[in-house]
Amino acid sequence: MCGIVGYTGYRDVVSVLLKGLTNLEYRGYDSAGIALRDDNRIKVYKSLGKLINLKNEIEEKKHELKHPTSGIGHIRWATHGAPSLVNAHPHTCTCGNLVVVHNGIIENYKELREELIKKGCKFRSETDTETIAHLMADEYSKTKDLEKAVRNSVKRLQGAYAVCVMHKDVPDVIVGARKHAPMLVGAGEGENFIASDTPAIIEYTKKAIYLDDNEIAVITKDNIKITDTDGNILHKKTEILPWEPVALSKLGFKHFMLKEIHEQPDVIRNVLNGKIYDIDGPVILNEVKLDKEILKKLNKIEIIACGTSLHAAMVGKYIIEDFAGISVEVEASSEYIYRKTTTDSSTLVIGVSQSGETADTITAIKQAKEKNAHVLIITNRPDSNMARLADSLIPVNAGIEVSVAATKSYTAQLISFYLLAMHLAEIKETLDKTYLKNLKHELIQLPTKIEEILSNTSGIQECARKFSSYKNFIYIARGINLASAYEGALKLKEISYINATGYPAGELKHGPIAMLDETMPVLSILIPGGISYDKILSNSEEAKARNAKLIALTSSCDKNIDMLFDYVLRIPDISEILSPALTCVPLQLLAYYIAEFLGKDVDQPRNLAKSVTVE
Ligand code: AGP
């Protein structure tokens, strides 16, 4: 949520900042702004709405700039204060000499604000961030030392922050500090960067130093200094970023979402790589650091996650219970953290997150760690905060996901759960060897089956066109595909703003059926040979009897349903247990094409941000 980039060096500062913000735009797009140190002054440019508005604004005012050599930039996802120009970052102190950008929430900002107003500070915005600018300027007035001013100020901040600061009188120095919000320094030759996430700097350097909580970075073009909040120098490891800049290109696709949907076959190959060498051999999952004897006795797992990752967790529960006979609870992180759980040292807690930065999940994981549970993290970002908290880490290797709606990371999470469930089953010896072998065989074939779906999407596009004018949808399924129904409905809601809800098919008659008429399409997910196929068919009949338009998502061999359903979407034949890895693809595409027909902003849907770093 929100994105930060800072730069000092020999390149065109404005271009570096705007490029960095472009690559971070998935994190928020309510407003954007940059501050430059130019001509012995701090110059601030801001715009409301998307980054393009800021780019146009700067283009118009380019003539005002002489030769800026450092700057900080921000894109905002509003928390405190509405999305408005005055609330847009960067924020300055009263005289405009000190400027800050900030991600996170300062919980004690009201007290600090009152104190600073009494001291004569003039506040212009409703944000918590402006408090930081005034507080740091107040500290700077006492010490005339920017680093010290930042150190003294952050000690007074409660809540979460990744903050970058510049001062007019301290040329080409950027100071960054973090607590509970990500921040890293990018190291270059004759230039250095600071950012909230790697895409901001990947085009310029692959060398990064990740800040931990309560650390402060001071960068100039030739130097990087990291200290703790008492000023003690820290010697931190420089890491090489695994990403290639090409990951941030659409490669000819109209949207990142479509590109990422099409990447799924390769993503699955990547996840499986090195894990299944031979279908007769065991799954190799060295990432799970728990002793085999402990795993054998394990009888309780808790999985915590949000949004799409929560849906992957639901599939995870189903297959771990089915394959390994271990009882699994799945809970939204935001619920887990506010109740007395029974988590203890004998519990395996699995945190699932694409970004590894979701605040609710991080808090839940920290609570689980306090209770001495072993924490296994499944994430697409092995460089994230959550990954750093892990006792065991399964990186899902989906590559950078730019579109706000998660697609390929979901599939990668599903495959990771299949591997984990099979690994547990092998240790506990709960599955028949032939069954396991067939499962592995089918798992390896998934990429080809997804390629088959992707090679001809005309049916899905036609269905999307037919149904794009409906205002409400119901998705129904049972068993392992219930999560697919929830996820399909979430995708539609997120990018087309159509009201779509997933229900267990059997629950339809316990209430939701009252809503059914010809204005409410019902999409049923049913896999021939599946344990609840006939029941879902009956539930669909019940919907038909109430005049609902029916869409089926089924597999190729299902020949008997065309009479009942108004539209049939098909996937290649597959066993029900593995089918969520295929059913998600047409559902992603259906949501994509409906949003596309409606002219929605597919990659950056309103009100959303890619990583939700506030609770
Ligand atoms: C997915 O399409 C959403 N953007 C959202 O629900 C997301 O899955 C959720 O915020 C969790 O994010 P995470 O996986 O990065 O923790």
Domains and CATH numbers, the chain: 3-247 (3.60.20.10), 264-452 (3.40.50.10490), 458-597 (3.40.50.10490)
pLDDT digits (tens, 9 = 90+) for 40-80: 999 999 999 889 999 999 999 999 999 999 999 999 887 77
Cα 1 to Cα 384: distance, rounded to the nearest angstrom: 14
- Determine the average pLDDT of the residues in 253-275: 94
pLDDT digits (tens, 9 = 90+) for 287-310: 888 888 888 888 899 999 999 999
Cα 615 to Cα 334: distance, rounded to the nearest angstrom: 7
Contact 440, 282 (CB under 8 A): no
Return the pLDDT at 569.
Answer: 96
Pocket test for ligand 1, best of 77, 306, 336, 396 (most atoms within 8 A of CB): 306
Q: Work out the mean pLDDT of the chain and round it to a whole number.
A: 93
**Residue 471 is a catalytic residue:** no
**Nearest alpha carbon, ligand 1 atom 16:** 353
Cα 591 to Cα 261: distance, rounded to the nearest angstrom: 12
Return the pLDDT at 562.
Answer: 85
Return the pLDDT at 38.
Answer: 94
Return the pLDDT at 26.
Answer: 74
Determine the atom of ligand 1 nearest the C-alpha atom of 358: 16
- Determine the average pLDDT of the residues in 356-374: 94
pLDDT digits (tens, 9 = 90+) for 10-50: 999 999 999 999 988 877 778 999 999 999 999 999 999 88
Q: Which residues pair with 395 in a beta bridge?
A: 379
Structure tokens at 612: 């939700």
Is 307 close to ligand 1, i.e. is its CB under 6 Å away?
A: yes
Assess whether pLDDT exceeds 80 at residue 414: yes
- Taking the centre of ligand 1 as the mean of its atom positions, its distance from the CA of residue 194, in whole angstroms, is 25
- Determine the average pLDDT of the residues in 507-517: 91
Is 355 close to ligand 1, i.e. is its CB under 6 Å away?
A: yes
Q: Which residue has the tokens 């440019």?
A: 45
- Taking the centre of ligand 1 as the mean of its atom positions, its distance from the CA of residue 111, in whole angstroms, is 33
**Nearest alpha carbon, ligand 1 atom 6:** 307
Return the pLDDT at 355.
Answer: 93
Percentage of the chain surpassing pLDDT 90?
80
Cα 583 to Cα 410: distance, rounded to the nearest angstrom: 12
- pLDDT band at 368; cut points 50, 70, 90: very high
Return the pLDDT at 246.
Answer: 67
Return the pLDDT at 607.
Answer: 81
Is 138 close to ligand 1, i.e. is its CB under 6 Å away?
A: no
pLDDT digits (tens, 9 = 90+) for 212-239: 999 999 999 999 999 999 999 999 999 9
- pLDDT band at 201; cut points 50, 70, 90: very high
Cα 425 to Cα 432: distance, rounded to the nearest angstrom: 9
Is 384 close to ligand 1, i.e. is its CB under 6 Å away?
A: no
- pLDDT band at 241; cut points 50, 70, 90: confident
Which residue spans within 372-495 are E strands per DSSP? 374-379, 392-395, 472-477
Pocket test for ligand 1, best of 27, 29, 197, 354 (most atoms within 8 A of CB): 354
Is 361 close to ligand 1, i.e. is its CB under 6 Å away?
A: yes
**Residue 306 is a catalytic residue:** no
- pLDDT band at 83; cut points 50, 70, 90: confident
pLDDT digits (tens, 9 = 90+) for 456-493: 999 999 999 999 999 999 999 999 999 999 999 999 99
Q: State the virtual CA torsion across 500, 504, 506, 508 in degrees, nearest 10.
A: -20
The DSSP line for 269-291 is: HHHHTTT-S-TTSPP--TT--S-
Assess whether pLDDT exceeds 80 at residue 612: no
Cα 568 to Cα 463: distance, rounded to the nearest angstrom: 9
Return the pLDDT at 48.
Answer: 93
Contact 177, 216 (CB under 8 A): yes
Assess whether pLDDT exceeds 90 at residue 366: yes
Of 191 and 382, the structure prediction assigns the larger pLDDT to 191
The CB density around residue 529, as the number of other CB atoms within 10 Å, is 13
Q: Rounded to the nearest 10 degrees, what angle do helices 458-467 and 580-597 cross at?
A: 50
